[in-house]
A = this chain, B = another copy of it.
C-alpha cells in the first residue's frame, strides 16, 4: 500500500471524522461491488472500520472504496 498523508484538515478526512463522532449510519460501496453498512468506529491512512447492528466489525481498505454515503 502506498505512503499516505492523513491530513485532518482535508474535507474528506474531516467528513469521515464527523461520521465517527455522530455514529451515523453509513454505507460504503466497494470496488468489488460489496456494500458495507454500519457505523464507523475509526479510520487511519489505510482502513476504515465499521460495526454493524450485530456488533460485527469489518475493516475496509480505503483502496477498495468507491463511494461513501450517510444513510
Q: In this complex, what residue of B is CB-closest to A50?
A: B67
Q: Count copies of this chain in the complex.
A: 6
Tally of A interface residues using CB under 8 Å: 38
Q: In this complex, what residue of B is CB-closest to A2?
A: B2
Known: A2-B2, A31-B64, A32-B31. A69 touches B44 (CB 8 A): no
A residues near B, CB below 8 A? 1-5, 10-13, 15, 29-34, 36, 42, 44-47, 49, 56-70
Which residues of B sit under 8 angstroms from A69, Cβ to Cβ?
56-59
- Bound state CA distance, A47 and B67, in angstroms? 9
Q: In this complex, what residue of B is CB-closest to A19?
A: B59
Which residues of B sit under 8 angstroms from A66, Cβ to Cβ?
30-32, 34, 60-61, 64
